[in-house]
Chains A and B, each alone.
Chain A
Amino acid sequence: MNKPIMRALRADGRLQEMVQRAVQDGLDPMLGTETTVLSEMSLPWGQPPAALALVPLAEATASGFRGVVWIGGELDDLASVAAALLGERPSGDDEALQDCVRELTNVLAGRIQEQLRSVGPATGLGLPMFLSGARTLAIGGASTDGIALRIQIGLPELPEILIGFVTGDA
């Protein structure tokens, strides 16, 4: 069930629109700034970002839609983003930084979930998790389909982060 939905959304450009809208509706107001999409990129699981947070998204039925929304990047860039929320810059990948990135990913996933509902699947959100230092990742099974975007946040340091939405095998 996953792939036909993702392929249909990708084929007519709605997938990128969906993720960009989720950024505008979710991340921009939270960070109090605007974001710019720099490029679409291939899914980075062979060479994951230094740190990333993931939120699973799934239909209640066993055969239903499963996906993952994620935000990742270099620790320095993620710290710049977290500083906008915390009022002070976290150091390294400490708990405050992890908390911020998990929460931003949660908000992004909520906005994607809402749009996904309008094209079919009624999904629930799982708990966000944070990973750092992974050399490779297998998200949702060996085969994934989805989108990854490099975006720039309009904060003074102009941090660049990666965001994405992928589905695994159903």
Chain B
Amino acid sequence: MRVLIIDDSKMMRMMHARSLRQSGYQATIVEAGNGEEALGLVETEQLDLLILDWNMPGMDGLTCAQTVREREQATGKRRVPILMITSQSTEEQIERARQAGIDRLLTKPVADQAFADALRTLLGQGA
């Protein structure tokens, strides 16, 4: 399994990778520090999951997710599950994320169980 973690914080990328391992997933981690960088990797990598932040310098997570979905539609590529992990958590923001093509939004700090449940839902299988 290949997972792209998109976050401008190196510490958060490290924590998400650790949470993946703790949830029992043997994943190859690919990292990006912002949306532009991520879009390049989405083009070239065969990915099973995107984990992304909302607020990042340059292209933010919402724009990145929207662009990924538009490209999937335009090219007929397989729809990759997108998990957003962000500090933003009001109802309006959750709705904006859903409209941008985010499959699941978790609010920081994320409990281990919530992370594991989200992975199971998105990947459709146990660890």
Contacts and interface: CB of A to CB of B under 8 A. Distances in A.
Interface of A: 26, 29-30, 85-86, 95-96, 99-100, 102-103, 106-107, 109-111, 113-114, 117, 122, 124-127
Interface string B50-93: 00000111000000000000000000000000000011111010
B9 A125 contact: no
Contact of B87 (A85, A96, A122, A125): A125
Interface residues on chain B, size class: 10 to 19
Contact of B55 (A30, A96, A106, A122): A106
B46 interface: no
7 contacts: A29-B111, A95-B10, A99-B9, A100-B11, A106-B108, A124-B88, A126-B55
B107 interface: yes
Main secondary structure of the interface of A (DSSP, over half): helix
Interface string B10-24: 111011000000000
B124 interface: no
Contacts, number: 52
Interface of B: 9-12, 14-15, 55-57, 86-90, 92, 107-109, 111
Nearest to B14: A86
B108 A30 contact: yes
A114 B91 CA distance: 9
A119 to B, nearest CB: 12
Contacts of A127: 55-57
B11 A110 contact: no
A138 to B, nearest CB: 24
Given A30-B108, A95-B10, 20 more contacts: A26-B108, A26-B109, A29-B109, A29-B111, A86-B14, A96-B11, A99-B10, A99-B11, A100-B11, A103-B12, A106-B87, A107-B108, A110-B87, A110-B88, A113-B88, A122-B90, A125-B87, A125-B88, A126-B55, A127-B57
B107 A96 contact: no
